[in-house]
Amino acid sequence: MTAATLYGPVADDLALVEATLARVKDVEYAPLARMLAHVLGAEGKRLRPALALLGGRAGTYDLTNLVPLAASIELLHSATLVHDDVIDKADRRRGRETANNLFGNAASVMLGDFMFAHAANLIASTGSVRLVQLFSRTIMSMATGELDQDLSAFDHNKGIRDYFTRIGGKTASLLATACEGGAILGECPEPWVEALRDYGFNLGMAFQIMDDILDFTGTEEVMGKPVGSDLMEGTLTLPSLLLMERSRSDNPVRRLFAAKRNRGQRLAEALAAIYASDVLAESESVARDFIQRALDALTPLPADAARIALADLAEYVVTRTS
């Protein structure tokens, strides 16, 4: 789907966000400029900045501050991906070489730090203390979620509640902040601010669950990583957790996590068990439950083009293939 289809009334304004991100790459230090050009040159769907703009459409739509917010949200997201790739020792993301593969781990960590700092500077430029506080809390939530994923790798004792807490911090908190931040800058009534925050959080939960489903159902060509990568890295997601609930004692996921050799064979066994079960369909049903919560949260908002776009985005999240 095109940006115009997905983002409705704010699609054209995303060009201003792109221009702001382009200025981030304009630094005097040539090595840093090259790294920023590589990381920020991989233009994605820009879902998060679009959500910030759509949140602002609910109130006074002033792009003077909304564009820096939207750009900062995308910068924060991109910075976390740079750090994630260092932690995961990933060499490719979405079919492109990662920063750590090109520039090394140490330089990539500093690159991510620079992007975090620039994102914070953009937020500060809005002059909203409330937004600065929200941004800070979001970074802490995201870091906690990522830390939990890293420290709990190959821990088969983690459950579904732990998983929801992790993705709530790692993924959903940023989508919630995008929507809430836009509403704050748009000076929306507090019930609308809360409604947009709830919408963004539930959308983010569904988004991550669908991402975790696609780790099993997608292709390496489309997803840019091997099928079953999460399991190989020791990360339990909703489909594998549901499978473990079916059989705690004799489970292919437990055998994979315990394997010292023949891990490829153990992964194939775990994938076969997942495909032979109903856990992928059940996981999608859970994602759709979160989407329904997101749609319900929109009820207080005016039935305008922005609300329609937000509702359409909710449907897109559970039907996307990449």
- All domains of the chain in start order, with CATH: 10-317 (1.10.600.10)
Where helices occur in 125-189 by DSSP H, the ranges are: 129-151, 160-167, 173-185
Tell me what pLDDT residue 218 has.
84
Radius of gyration of the chain from Cα atoms? 20
Tell me what pLDDT residue 89 has.
83
Tell me what pLDDT residue 3 has.
59
Per-10-residue mean pLDDT, the chain, length 322: 79 96 93 93 87 97 98 96 87 83 93 95 97 97 94 91 97 98 98 98 98 90 79 95 86 91 92 96 98 98 96 95 82
Instruction: Output the pTM of the full model.
Output: 0.95
Tell me what pLDDT residue 1 has.
61
- For 236, how many CA atoms within 13 A lie in the half-sphere containing its CB? 28
8 A C-beta contact, residue 93 and residue 81: yes
Tell me what pLDDT residue 215 has.
94
**What is the spatial distance between Cα 173 and Cα 139, in angstroms, rounded to a whole number?**
9
Tokens representing residue 196 in the block: 């947009």
8 A C-beta contact, residue 197 and residue 176: yes
DSSP state letters, 77-133:
HHHHHHHHHHHHT-SEETTEE-HHHHH-HHHHHHHHHHHHHHHHHHHHTTT-HHHHH
**What is the spatial distance between Cα 277 and Cα 238, in angstroms, rounded to a whole number?**
13
**What is the spatial distance between Cα 4 and Cα 2, in angstroms, rounded to a whole number?**
5
